[in-house]
Amino acid sequence: MRLATAEINIPALRYNLARVKEIAPSSKVMAVLKANAYGHGLVKIAQCLSDADAFAVARIDEALALRAGGLTKPIILLEGFFDPSDLPILLANNFETVVHDESQLLAIEQSNLEMPISVWLKVDTGMHRLGIEPEQFDDFYQRLKQCPNVKPAVNLMTHFPCADDVSNDFTQVQIDVFASLVSDRREALCLANSAGVIGWPDAHFDWVRSGLMLYGVSPMLDQVGVDHQLKPVMRLKTRVIAIKQVNVGDRVGYGGRWQCQKATILAVVAMGYGDGYPRHARQGTPVVIKGKRYGIVGSVSMDMISVDVGENAAHIQVGDEVEMWGPTLPVEEVASCADTIPYELLCNVTPRVSYEYCNDE
């Protein structure tokens, strides 16, 4: 019998990609697959996204794993390359690189490449993480254009730090800065992450880069996937492995952090931080058993969590399935109970969890 399992709903994944295209109908879609496709399984997810126009990853190893898995679509390296010696690997595997720093530009200019490489010049319009300053744009752009190692179309990119909040004007400021820089260029422009897709139609341009929303999760503050007609792709589930009666005054779990105030029954479920469930989930963070929500009690252990199923829990038995997050319990909600974001919970699912890819709705 399988315990901790991530059930991956492939039709929901495909549906979410169709939603991206419906929301941004004039844009091509880069499906963002970094961090093991946000914990969903890199190659498997890529194989099911045949309708995407390209894939995007953060690291070269992720891109190589896609090629090793037989995937032939364009792959964009969102952080670019890290050393001049990476360049032949990029060329041999037909990877496109972001250029966000002078060291990368120099490496490309000074290399002796057999073929030109496809480049995305990344401009920092206000996130102050990766990207060249707007004042450097003309210099970088001209140098890339003139460099024989670079394919003639120099694509352009920027990234949003606050697009999840539609009341924050900063995203519009970034769109305007970017648009003014690139006004007379004919190259492909790419600005929007998932929050840009949903919240900022002016940011769609030629390409969008969607990650989180493909997995059916809301990128917008205080909303869940269904608010945007997205369908959660992952259902993280396990089973009840013990039932225990506790009485007033009993302390439960490591550190005895939860004390029983009223006699009740606990269901012990096989899921813990060793599976990627957040150890900081608050007392009362919900799980779903037999269609009903119950709250966790005590500290999350490596392999187990206790759930207060109430004094009238005779219908709950060893072997019952427990949903930790998924279609009936949004991962956004669990994330907020653990003071984190759904991105982190999804990425943190560990290799101990088994994956089941389901092709029926």
Ligand X SMILES: *Cc1c(COP(=O)(O)O)cnc(C)c1O
Least distance to ligand X, CB of residue 59, Å: 11
**Catalytic one of 34, 122, 231, 237:** 34
Q: Is 185 annotated to bind ligand?
A: no
Catalytic residue status for 254: yes
Least distance to ligand X, CB of residue 170, Å: 16
Q: In this complex, which beta carbon is closest to ligand X, that of residue 211 or of residue 330?
A: 211
Least distance to ligand X, CB of residue 233, Å: 13
By CB under 6 A, name the binding residues for ligand X: 32, 34, 78, 159, 193-195, 209-212, 219
Q: Between β-strands 28-32 and 54-57, what pairing exists: parallel, antiparallel or unpaired?
A: parallel
Q: How far is CA 163 from CA 148, 183, 192, 204, 214, in A?
A: 36, 22, 9, 12, 17
Q: Which residues does 74 contact at the CB level (< 8 Å), separation at least 6?
A: 53, 54, 55, 94, 96, 118
**Catalytic one of 44, 122, 237, 254:** 254
Q: Is 14 annotated to bind ligand?
A: no
Q: How is residue 323 annotated by DSSP?
A: E
Q: In this complex, which beta carbon is closest to ligand X, that of residue 127 or of residue 265?
A: 127
Residue whose entry in the numeric block shows the structure tokens 């964009």: 76
Q: In this complex, which beta carbon is closest to ligand X, that of residue 78 or of residue 189?
A: 78
Least distance to ligand X, CB of residue 344, Å: 12
Q: In this complex, which beta carbon is closest to ligand X, that of residue 234 or of residue 267?
A: 234
Q: In this complex, which beta carbon is closest to ligand X, that of residue 12 or of residue 212?
A: 212
Report the DSSP beta bridge partners of residue 305.
Answer: 269
Least distance to ligand X, CB of residue 343, Å: 7
Least distance to ligand X, CB of residue 209, Å: 4
Q: Are residues 111 and 89 in contact, defined by beta-carbon separation less than 8 angstroms? A: no
Give residue 346's Cα distance to chain centre: 7
Retrieve residue 179's tokens: 């648009």
Q: In this complex, which beta carbon is closest to ligand X, that of residue 21 or of residue 159?
A: 159
Q: Are residues 295 and 288 in contact, defined by beta-carbon separation less than 8 angstroms? A: no
Catalytic residue status for 151: no
Q: Are residues 150 and 106 in contact, defined by beta-carbon separation less than 8 angstroms? A: no
SS3 content of the chain, % helix, strand, coil (to 5): 30, 25, 45
User: Which residue has the CB atom at the shortest distance from ligand X?
Assistant: 211
Which runs of consecutive H residues, i.e. helices, occur in 48-193? 60-68, 87-92, 102-110, 137-146, 170-181
d(Cα 209, Cα 344) in Å, to the nearest integer?
18
Q: Are residues 183 and 151 in contact, defined by beta-carbon separation less than 8 angstroms? A: no
Q: Which residues are catalytic?
A: 34, 254
Residue positions in the annotated binding site for substrate?
129, 302
